[in-house]
Structure 1
Amino acid sequence: MYKTVYDFIVDAENRDDKGITFINGSDNEVYISYAQLFEKSRKVLGVLQKKGLRKKDELIIQIEDNEQFIKVFWACILGGIIPIPLSVGYNEEHKQKILRIWSILNNPYCISDQRTLHSLEKVADAETYSSIVKQSIYLDEIKNSNEVGELISPKPEEIAFIQFSSGTTGDPKGVILTHKNLITNISALNEAWETSKSDSSLSWMPLTHDMGLIAIHLASTYKKIQQYIIPTSVFIRRPTLWLLKTHQHRVTQLYSPNFGYKFLLDNYKKNQIYNWDLTCVRLLANGAEPISTSLCQRFLEEMKQFGLKYETLNTVYGLAEATVAVSVPKLGNSFVPVTLNREALEVGQKIQKTVEEKKGITFVEVGPAVRHCSFRICDSNNYVLDDDFIGHVQIKGENVTSGYYNNESATKDAITADGWLNTGDLGFIHNNSLVITGRTKDIIIKNGQNYYSHDIERVAENVKDIELGNVVACGVPNETKAEEDLVIFVKCKQSYDITTAEKELKRELTKQLGLNVHQVIPVRKIFKTTSGKVQRSKMKDFYKELILS
């Protein structure tokens, strides 16, 4: 039906029956129809073009307000401008990331509020800051725009936008997403989720995250279904608002990574009366980080009293390099846990199922590949492995990026000689369904055996008062021993007895996994991305700085 993202945004011009409701509290909602959004976006485009932006210029979008963000993003798509969505942050490291991205781009502009733009002065050199100021647009400038911009229709193979990684360490890599990539994956995702005009979506995910922007906002816009968007900051303050609004608006599609399900359960009071009716929900997508089967079961069990059906949970897998989605289980089937012997999880090994709790680690099936995408499993020499053998997950298809923006070296490293993209994940194929076992970079090697960080963390959570998301396991290189030391970070309050916890942690990990813990470090903060994904590299850097000091 559509060939470009531009096509389905232009199609919004005459759609005034549905749109987006921006939810900022229990009694604070603003509805804007698709037609109104299109009209407002054209006026924003008028301002951008008046400021000198032309086709193929890049625009860094640093906007916290969801309505303003969408209007600017749509304006870019309508005018052939390449949007670069980036989350807003005020620490020095985040500002340095903005500067590194600025240096990668060809002819960059930036749009944000005055506070955000002026904060860059403290970290940028005079020349860079001067160029940013010259090519900046303040949000105030687009609020009262009246002159509509010139629409510029793109070709399917042209760049729609650049998705930079949500992490804040190292050199940022911008994933190139063409209109064809996006249309291919969005239509495949809507097909897998059986999205129809009677559906509605509700999200608290950041619009700077591929799940929030592509899998939810753009996929919903493609189908012109009613959307409800809660700012992430509002969800953090009041997570139960998510399900209250689901009940009130009879929403059919919900989405969240592990973080959201756990955060809601942690703030949900069992002795309080919630008059929710969640029988309307037919899709509850879980993705964007390793999926905890115990958390899924706990959430579904707790929400059963409100009519949430067990089979609504859809455990999915994707990454920015695939646009967003790689695999989706068949809708309506219960999610499938797979328990394996943790001593047989190395690349090239055949999986060994087990029922022994001490030996077992549980993963979850994330379904067959979505339409126009393929996956395969390879060993470390790039030889394709049979089903039920663990290896490197590689993907190929019309949804898969051609590479990283202005970064030939990273592109060459990611794409194999025969044209497959290495995801950096490990897993295996079972009954045509993909199972992800972990990230290559999150493996900790001890005594010649591979251990997954998240497996160690799940065992650590058996210790009293240590919860999901509050413990991080990292392997830190020890040059003297020529192996990695296991360091455990525990988020705790000042009154927490870390000495007792350390003893119990070491005992539990030795008993269950035969591992010796080098050090347990109490921390007040665990570094995470905006979607709640743990940033292990930053935790390692923190540890190195701690040792040096």
Structure 2
Amino acid sequence: MADTLLARLDRWGAEQPEKTVYAFADDNGIITASLTYKELDERTLNLARWMRAPASAKGMGLSPDEKVLLVYPPGLDFIVAFVACLRAGVVAVPVYPPDPRKLRKDIVMFTTVCSNAGAKTALTCASYNHVKKILDIKQKMTFSERYPWPDLAWVETDRLVHAPAPSSSTLAAPSADAIAFLQYTSGSTSDPKGVMISHGNLTSNLHLIVDALAARTDAVVVSWLPQYHDMGLIGAYLGILFAGGNGVYLSPFSFIKNPSLWIELMAKHKATHLQAPNFAYALCARKFKPSSPSSLDLSSVRHMINGAEPVDVHAIEAFYATFSPLGLPRGVVRPTYGLAEHTVYVCDSSPSLTHLRVVKSVLESEDKMERATAATPANDVKDMVGCGEPKVDMRIVNADTRRTQPDGTVGEIWIRSSSTTQGYFNLPALTQEMFHASLVDAPEVHYMRTGDLGVLCERQLFVCGRLKDLIIVRGRNHYPQDIEKSVEAFDAIRPGCSAAFSVALNGQDDEVLCVLAEVRPEASQPLSELANAIRSAIAAEHGVQLTGVVFVESRSIPKTTSGKISRRRCKTAFLGQSLSELHRSINLDDRSPDETAVNHPPGPKRTYPPFESVPAASVTTFLCSEIAQLLNVPKTHVTNATTLHELGMDSMGLTQLQGIIANEYGVHAPEEVLYSETTTIDGLYEALKRAPPSSPQSAPNVGGDNQTSFLEDPPAPPRARMCCGCIAIR
């Protein structure tokens, strides 16, 4: 019998049935739901039989290879449904659960994915489906703007797992070539691509992961990564199941509100294997303020993947400086490269981190790595972090000549292995182009083109960039054309004359979103107002904070000879301030950890006075001050009548604000208030007077016992293009 994930589930269910495989923690780190290997085996088998049972027997009537959406808030119901799909032979399509209260932003991508996959059924939990129905009825009754859901049959799986299936027939094991699931890229909303990951691909990559990471039955994962994208799904959930270990999980929102919770759960559960994007390591190092540091012991940690966005060596060193005194071994943080087109994992660095300082100008102009010397100007030095020795057939190729590049020379990364997926669903031409590339001297051998630029040096992979532009902010991918479309929706901006890109400013670890745009000569709106309006639109439509806005004169933005925007040259001009600028606005958060109350770990339980007894002026002044700090704008920019939407607060900022309010006043700021486009500071104060205490028992929990709030996009790897260079995924 093949050593597949399902075979491993059978094995662990027999060998260690009472061992906990999955546990889910709330905002305070308290376990609210768990599953043993026996329970996971029984529930997934029962649900799989419900899926395959005919409609005449009140089953779902799903056929093999049918596409099924998985729409769940963070929690354990998702992983039960996913494994059940594998057992039933139906094709799972994990998707981000649209917030029923904010459909305008989420429903477009959801509908496009649904249409592309041809899905007719959506699996979910009762709590999510209930909120969805209530909000839909409310929209109809209030005649508010409606954003219709696709025509789907919604099935609440948490009600079915405990009910005996109408059929007890044996389920045939799927073939290695059968598609296990579609992993949709978080790319342009108009062009989603579903990567076809077969059962064989999944088996191959899981073997690769557990062998490379030395993960066995004693492995313990603690993860906050989204369950519907491959770095979290495969790396954190399926990997631990395959290894026979156990995992503790929390919502991405819990992490953002309190990054220290991740660290404390590592110590409490003696975690061995962790995964996170670079921003999380930097954030934890900046925000960690332990209530009792002597009680935290991180000596159990053996491996920490750092991927999904550019890896910064300074963030890694800051993480070690903060947590080595708590026993964290040096060498456990591993820059990692991977992508969904290769299931997820490709390679990761060795314990001895390979860090090269190279001449930036030579790398950019000659596509070669040249070591910097003491004589190299500081502004011409670039830090490069290695992702380890490739564990698969990898070539660095000149994409034009289709010839292998010599070591030390930049080229496109091409890969060939049994983890290479079958291509993009319903996109045969693109699949042929990207998954059937061949070298000029070996036309019969097919490689998968990653679209990433890299260098092999001293047998190590260094990722340098992408053939195409991509913006990664806080671990999430954003397509520049989507951002630019929102910018150019303003009448004052010349159509086709804006560029969006990400840059690292003022020595910050993380890259931030910036825009360069031409302003019409006849525009009359004050440019500072225009910049703030664009920030609000970007935050509302894309869930990301726009840090830098520069307006330039007409016909000055860099373009190619064919008239297309040259984003790379725009980025250079932005950094060098080399254009005729009309307005420059940079909102950069460069505060020290002591300058903000965000993300303190839970200490001894505090007693709060009744919120009604706190003077209104005191609360609103505090809120204005904290919001100004979060956005790094002058306090005068935030007034009681200003809406959070107008300020351009993104999902991470709003989640942090929620944590600040809970920490300061002991009340839970309702998500529907925070994310409303009309909520002012005064309005937020009025809502807080009616808000429940910020306790697990009284805080609104859309997902019930097994889920946490799904409101807003989490700041997590959109898909695990785990990379150490300068990019993530399409």
TM interval, short-chain normalised: 0.7 to 0.9
Contact 1:156 1:178 in 2 (8 A): yes
CA-to-aligned-CA distance 1:284-313 (integer Å, 9 cap, x gap): 111111111111111111111101111111
2:228 and 2:718 map into 1 onto residues whose CA distance is 17
Aligned to 1:383: 403
Instruction: State the 1:190 CA deviation.
Output: 1.0
Instruction: State the 1:116 CA deviation.
Output: 6.7
CA-to-aligned-CA distance 1:148-200 (integer Å, 9 cap, x gap): 76423111111111111134633110001111111111101111111222222
Q: 1:138 to 1:186 in 2, by over 3 A?
A: same
1:16 aligns with 2:40: no
Matches for 1:358-397 after TM superposition, within 5 Å: 358-370=379-391, 372-397=392-417
Aligned to 2:371: 353
Contact 2:108 2:189 in 1 (8 A): no
Q: Which amino acid aligns with 1:21?
A: A
Q: Which amino acid aligns with 1:351?
A: M
CA-to-aligned-CA distance 1:415-447 (integer Å, 9 cap, x gap): 354222221211110111110112222389xxx
1:80 and 1:386 map into 2 onto residues whose CA distance is 44
1:422 and 1:510 map into 2 onto residues whose CA distance is 27
Asked which structure has the greater CA Rg, the reply is 2
Instruction: State the 1:380 CA deviation.
Output: 3.6
Contact 1:261 1:295 in 2 (8 A): yes
1:281 and 1:260 map into 2 onto residues whose CA distance is 16
Q: 1:195 to 1:272 in 2, by over 3 A?
A: closer
Higher relative contact order, structure no. (Cα contacts within 8 Å, ≥ 6 residues apart):
2
Instruction: State the 1:319 CA deviation.
Output: 0.6
2:229 and 2:470 map into 1 onto residues whose CA distance is 25
Report the secondary structure of 1:441's partner residue. coil
1:69 aligns with 2:84: no
Aligned to 2:33: 30
Find 1:524's aligned residue among 648, 659, 675: 648
Contact 2:91 2:180 in 1 (8 A): yes
2:406 and 2:389 map into 1 onto residues whose CA distance is 16
Matches for 1:253-402 after TM superposition, within 5 Å: 253-269=273-289, 273=293, 275-330=295-350, 333-346=351-364, 349-355=367-373, 356=376, 357-370=378-391, 372-402=392-422
Aligned to 2:122: 110
Contact 2:255 2:262 in 1 (8 A): yes
1:181 aligns with 2:181: no
Report the secondary structure of 2:347's partner residue. coil
Unaligned regions of 5+ residues in structure 1, if any? 445-451, 480-486, 503-508, 536-549
Q: Which amino acid aligns with 2:22?
A: I
Contact 1:57 1:109 in 2 (8 A): no
Contact 2:43 2:161 in 1 (8 A): no
Q: After alignment, is 319-328 or 1-10 more displaced?
A: 1-10
Find 1:461's aligned residue among 506, 509, 520: 506
Contact 1:44 1:149 in 2 (8 A): no
1:534 and 1:9 map into 2 onto residues whose CA distance is 27
Q: Which TM-score applies when normalising by structure 1?
A: 0.81
Aligned to 2:92: 83
Report the secondary structure of 1:393's partner residue. strand
Instruction: State the 1:369 CA deviation.
Output: 1.5
Report the secondary structure of 1:327's partner residue. strand
Q: 1:475 to 1:374 in 2, by over 3 A?
A: farther
1:426 and 1:477 map into 2 onto residues whose CA distance is 30
Find 1:101's aligned residue among 90, 109, 113: 113
Contact 1:240 1:268 in 2 (8 A): yes
Instruction: State the 1:527 CA deviation.
Output: 8.1
Aligned to 1:546: none
2:109 and 2:470 map into 1 onto residues whose CA distance is 26
Instruction: State the 1:379 CA deviation.
Output: 4.1
2:178 and 2:518 map into 1 onto residues whose CA distance is 43
Contact 1:93 1:168 in 2 (8 A): no
Instruction: State the 1:396 CA deviation.
Output: 1.5
1:143 and 1:116 map into 2 onto residues whose CA distance is 21
CA-to-aligned-CA distance 1:230-281 (integer Å, 9 cap, x gap): 2222222222121212111211111111122123234312786452111111
Contact 1:471 1:490 in 2 (8 A): no
Contact 1:261 1:299 in 2 (8 A): yes
Q: 1:69 to 1:420 in 2, by over 3 A?
A: same
1:476 and 1:425 map into 2 onto residues whose CA distance is 27
Find 1:423's aligned residue among 443, 447, 450: 450
The alignment covers a number of residue pairs equal to 497
2:38 and 2:204 map into 1 onto residues whose CA distance is 24
Report the secondary structure of 2:182's partner residue. strand
1:352 and 1:405 map into 2 onto residues whose CA distance is 41
1:60 aligns with 2:69: yes
Report the secondary structure of 1:56's partner residue. coil
1:254 and 1:52 map into 2 onto residues whose CA distance is 38
Q: Which amino acid aligns with 1:249?
A: H
Q: Which amino acid aligns with 1:114?
A: N
Q: 1:512 to 1:408 in 2, by over 3 A?
A: closer
Q: Which amino acid aligns with 1:472?
A: L
Q: Which TM-score applies when normalising by structure 2?
A: 0.62
CA-to-aligned-CA distance 1:392-418 (integer Å, 9 cap, x gap): 122121111121011113213323542
Q: 1:347 to 1:191 in 2, by over 3 A?
A: farther
